[in-house]
């Protein structure tokens, strides 16, 4: 397995065209994501009896994908790369494909019959894989040709394929190493997956452990009388699990999926497996499914929104009575007292503590049991749970937080069979840092280097052997080698505040003297959620207008310092890049964005206008790159449309359509490769670099403002815009059209437009309606419109 990972990152993949057979939820999602990578893909399905359109199933799947929310396609343009067909008329299309993915119904006989047809039509040496997670690979290839077995493996995607970064790879005894390496390379670089080799065992890694965790949490809640909200509070942020908790997670994926998964596990796992002792019947769950309460896709699940009488009441089901009641927020003192101390939580004898112990002791013991069975290293198990189930920490990382020796001792007292690997670990930790390198404990009880895939650079690793060049409470600057510095946001949600703006100025001076280029990057969940609205609201409420004026001016100065620095600046966003975070990108020489970057100027959604140069940058982009009709008004109108509606691009590809990103900006599919790609782009730009020339603007002035106000007024009269929306849009219109003194026969400087931004921003901030809107956004965490 290690050999697969080592070879996987060398050279270009040979996969240039893909086929997916089976256009259900998973098959269609896989096809869409292949198209997201810019790779042509064939999507085939069966011909329904009596169908006039023989491709109706595959075509219908693509049509459904185009309407999906969250979106399966990163851009609707990607759908044009999908060629639909059927398995009776179009198997000849397989002859041009380098990888064929089978994603049909989980029936061995159907899969094996399909493989015969695939083998007869595919080209020699093409890879074939199944997306199954329930049928052993050895069974799948029974009766197939020797060449087919050599070209076959299992590639298990997680749903939805676009967003879930884990891909489990299972090789057979005959699977070609070069084929596995090529697939790994393609899925890593092109699809953005972390490819985890697994052994051919039921459920592989993530579902094997994840289904036990979910089942244990559900069963113990019923048996101990723990309410749904309390259970989700315990099985949520405390352990680094998704904030949905277990019951919320089941609602999300669908309650009706669980019985099928349980039945599969029960039928495939040996009788001595711990799963059997936990897989108890839950009559209420059966009844909910029968009554159509299958989660968010049905009438509701453990949670629902009751719309009776025209209202919207959030409700939760009682596990005791099966009746819905108003949802209540779990207020558990033990979670406040322990504050992330997992050992203290698991030691607690109150109801929440006993529940946490029952669920997590079984889950973590099971993880230790699986070491060596599903994978030969614990790092792969941890990675699978982090990326497949969105755990912040893998099971062995959690045991390190608890203490392996204490955990093993308590588990034995509770009557659980402690696996030898855990017993032998004793007081050691599963992970350690030695000589600036991360190491993990092997099954041999020796420590091994935790190596990154070839070409991956992580800031977290750099930090192990270096100190920041500059640092304050909200940001830091690091030397990432080869003459490139990295500016890192470290504030909550990476929100931008005066400390960050101040450090930008210092960083520009430092980099100009000692480095070739600067990359702006961090490894948080989000690049930046924008300006610190809480700070702005506080200052406004106590009328600290001078402080706010300084913050706006300071942001403008810092961003211009980046734009006109004597070295290239490359920003590398992932996750949210909103408001001021988006404006950082707009002022960078280039952007290398993770494919899953959500970018937008959302200030109007909180009652403001962009104040740090976002307006003038969008004006410049749409006037120079927008391919619009000539004249000052088309670019103004387009910028107004995007900014006034607080539009957020829901992928890097879509961000290019809005010109938040330039056509020349790069996109990285694999999050782990983002920093390396950004650094390479920065070094490329550093050769013979010269800063850009400040743009000049020809803007329409009052006549343009009037035209935009007419449009906004029509929206207001139709009830599509509030009274305050009209005020905010008016301010934005004045900025984009150049204000009262603008003349379409004369040019405005960048400084002129920035002054307008600053003026309108400050006036809006003094408006009580804006403050009320900001406070609402701070309470809910969401802009009022998008």
- Give 91-147 as a DSSP string: GGGGGG-SEEEE---S-HHHHHHHHHHHHHHSPTT-EEEE--SSS-HHHHTTTS-HH
Tell which CATH architecture fits domain 206-441.
Answer: Orthogonal Bundle (1.10)
Q: Are 615 and 732 in contact (CB under 8 A)?
A: yes
pLDDT tops 80 at residue 705: yes
Residue 386 has pLDDT above 70, yes or no: yes
Q: Residues 147-201: pLDDT tens digits?
A: 999 999 999 999 999 999 999 999 999 999 999 999 999 999 999 999 999 999 9
Give the SS3 label for residue 519: strand
For residue 250, pLDDT beyond 50 = yes
Instruction: Please identify, in words, the CATH class of the domain defined by 460-601+647-692.
Output: alpha beta
**pLDDT average, residue stretch 6-28:** 81
pTM, whole model, 2 decimals?
Answer: 0.94
**Using an 8 Å Cβ cutoff, are 149 and 172 in contact?**
yes
Provide mean pLDDT across the span 66-73. Answer: 95
Residue at token pair 């059997």: 276
Our measurement of the distance from residue 193's CA atom to the centroid of its chain's CA atoms, rounded to an integer in Å, reads 12
Question: What is 3-198's CATH superfamily?
Answer: NAD(P)-binding Rossmann-like Domain (3.40.50.720)
Of 404, 448, 406, the C-alpha closest to 429 is 404
Answer whether 3-198 and 460-601+647-692 agree in fold: no
Q: Check residue 11 and give its pLDDT.
A: 58
Residues 458-499 pLDDT 10s: 999 999 999 999 999 999 999 999 999 999 999 999 999 999
Q: Are 520 and 580 in contact (CB under 8 A)?
A: no
Per domain, the residue ranges of the chain are 3-198, 206-441, 460-601+647-692, 631-641+694-786
State yes or no: pLDDT of 4 exceeds 60. Answer: no
pLDDT band at 782 (very low <50, low <70, confident <90, very high): low
- Beta strand ranges found along 190-276 (DSSP E): 194-198
Q: What ranges make up the beta strands (E) of 212-263?
A: none
């Amino acid at each position: 397995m290690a050999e697969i990972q080592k070879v996987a990152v060398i050279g270009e993949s040979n996969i240039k065209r893909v086929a997916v057979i089976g256009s259900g939820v998973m098959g269609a999602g896989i096809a869409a994501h292949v198209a997201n990578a810019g790779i042509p893909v064939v999507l085939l399905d069966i011909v329904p009896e009596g169908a006039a359109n023989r491709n109706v199933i595959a075509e219908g799947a693509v049509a459904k994908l185009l309407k999906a929310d969250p979106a399966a396609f990163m851009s609707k343009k990607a759908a044009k790369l999908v060629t639909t067909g059927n398995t009776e008329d179009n198997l000849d299309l397989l002859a041009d494909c380098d990888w064929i993915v089978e994603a049909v119904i989980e029936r061995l006989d159907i899969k094996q019959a399909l493989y015969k047809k695939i083998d007869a039509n595919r080209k020699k040496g093409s890879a074939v894989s199944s997306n199954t997670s329930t049928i052993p690979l050895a069974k799948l290839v029974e009766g197939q040709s020797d060449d087919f077995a050599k070209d076959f493996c299992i590639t298990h995607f997680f749903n939805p394929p676009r967003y879930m970064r884990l891909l489990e790879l299972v090789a057979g005894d005959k699977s070609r190493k070069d084929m596995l390496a090529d697939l790994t390379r393609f899925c890593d670089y092109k699809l953005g997956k972390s490819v985890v080799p697994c052994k051919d065992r039921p459920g592989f890694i993530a579902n094997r452990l994840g289904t036990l965790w979910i089942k244990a949490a559900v069963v113990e809640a019923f048996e101990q009388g723990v309410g749904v909200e309390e259970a989700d509070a315990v099985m949520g942020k405390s352990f680094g699990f998704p904030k949905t908790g277990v019951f919320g997670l089941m609602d999300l994926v669908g309650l009706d999926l669980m019985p099928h998964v349980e039945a599969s596990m029960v039928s495939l796992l040996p009788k001595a497996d711990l799963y059997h002792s936990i897989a108890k019947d839950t009559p209420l769950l059966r009844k909910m499914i029968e009554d159509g309460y299958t989660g968010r896709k049905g009438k509701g699940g453990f949670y629902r929104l009751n719309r009776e009488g025209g209202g919207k009441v959030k409700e939760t089901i009682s596990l005791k009575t099966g009746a819905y009641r108003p949802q209540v927020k779990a207020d558990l003192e033990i979670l406040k007292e322990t504050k992330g101390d997992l050992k203290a939580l698991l030691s607690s004898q109150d109801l929440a503590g006993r529940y946490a112990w029952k669920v997590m002791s079984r889950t973590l013991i099971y993880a230790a049991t699986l070491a060596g069975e599903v994978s030969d290293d614990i790092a792969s198990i941890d990675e699978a749970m982090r990326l497949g189930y969105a755990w912040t920490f893998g099971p062995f990382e959690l045991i390190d937080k608890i203490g392996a020796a204490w955990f093993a001792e308590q588990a034995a007292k509770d009557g659980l069979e402690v696996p030898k690997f855990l017993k032998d670990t004793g007081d050691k930790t599963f992970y350690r840092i030695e000589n600036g390198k991360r190491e993990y404990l092997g099954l041999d009880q020796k420590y091994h280097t935790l190596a990154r895939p070839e070409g991956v650079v992580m800031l977290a690793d750099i930090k192990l052997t270096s100190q920041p060049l500059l640092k304050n409470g909200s940001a830091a600057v690091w030397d990432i080698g080869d003459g490139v510095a990295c500016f890192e946001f470290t504030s909550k949600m990476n929100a931008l505040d005066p400390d960050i703006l101040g450090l930008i100025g210092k960083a520009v001076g430092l980099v100009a003297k000692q480095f070739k280029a600067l990359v702006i990057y961090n490894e948080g969940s989000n690049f930046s959620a924008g300006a610190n609205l809480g700070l702005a609201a506080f200052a406004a409420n106590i009328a600290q207008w001078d402080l706010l004026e300084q913050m706006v001016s300071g942001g403008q100065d810092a961003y211009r310092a980046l734009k006109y620095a004597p070295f290239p600046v490359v920003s590398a966003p992932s996750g949210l890049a909103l408001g001021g975070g988006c404006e950082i990108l707009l002022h960078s020489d280039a952007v290398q964005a993770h494919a899953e970057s959500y970018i937008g100027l959302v200030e109007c959604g909180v009652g403001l206008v962009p104040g740090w140069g976002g307006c003038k940058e969008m004006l410049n982009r749409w006037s120079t790159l927008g391919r619009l009709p000539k004249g000052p008004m088309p670019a103004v109108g387009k910028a107004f449309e995007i900014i006034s509606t607080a539009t957020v691009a829901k992928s890097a590809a879509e961000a290019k359509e809005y010109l938040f990103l330039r056509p020349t900006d790069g996109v990285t599919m694999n999050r782990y490769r983002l920093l390396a790609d950004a650094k390479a782009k920065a070094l490329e730009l550093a050769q013979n670099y010269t800063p850009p020339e400040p743009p000049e603007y020809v803007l329409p002035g009052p006549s343009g403002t009037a035209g935009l106000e007419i449009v906004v007024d029509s929206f207001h009269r139709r009830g599509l815009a509030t009274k305050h929306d009209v005020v905010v849009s008016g301010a934005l219109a004045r900025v984009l059209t150049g204000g009262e003194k603008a003349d379409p026969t004369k040019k405005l400087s960048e400084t002129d437009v920035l002054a307008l931004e600053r003026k309108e921003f400050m006036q809006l901030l003094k408006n009580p309606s804006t403050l009320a809107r900001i406070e609402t956004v701070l309470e809910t965490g969401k802009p009022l419109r998008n």
